Amino acid sequence: MKTVFTNEILNSFSDINKLLYKLSKQDADYNGLTVVQLKALYNVSIHPNLGLVELAELLKLTNSTTSGVLDRMVQNGLVERRKLPNDRRAITIQLSEKGQEKLEKFISGESILVEKLNKVKQELSDEDIQSLLRIHEKIREILSE
């Protein structure tokens, strides 16, 4: 019985993860970005003056992978690296005007993912959503032990 239950949990998480990735990929492709670039734009927008290490942690990538992603985003004019006046070695990452426009286009409703997530929010009660988040947190805690 435990095996069946475990498989049901794994299959459920796997299915949802695949669907979220598929929707994210469609949005990213529509905007001429990769999924990682789209996530990076979003994270940079909600965390002003973010550093490379912090962005890498948020994206769950290595520093070197994140640096490569940022290099391409700078080349495409989506983000800017800025040196801190009090520490010339440290840099922060900020959205460029072009990056802000791409992100606003994504968030403003031209996103399949945002549209679907809004539908989920409409069809589930606040209580259901809170229960889901509580259960996910408990599963995350158990898996992290």
How sure is the predictor about 111, in pLDDT bands with cuts at 50, 70 and 90?
confident
The full set of domain ranges for the chain reads: 35-96
How sure is the predictor about 119, in pLDDT bands with cuts at 50, 70 and 90?
very high
- Buried b / exposed e along 84-123 (16+ C-beta atoms within 10 A): eeeeeeebbbbbbeebbebbeebeeeebebeeeeeeeeee
Q: What is the pLDDT of residues 20-48, one digit of tens each?
A: 999 999 999 988 899 999 999 999 999 98
Kind and range of the H or E element at 91? strand 87-95
Proportion of the chain in helix, strand, coil states, percent, rounded to 5: 70, 10, 15
The yes or no reply on domain 35-96 and CATH 1.20.140.10 is no
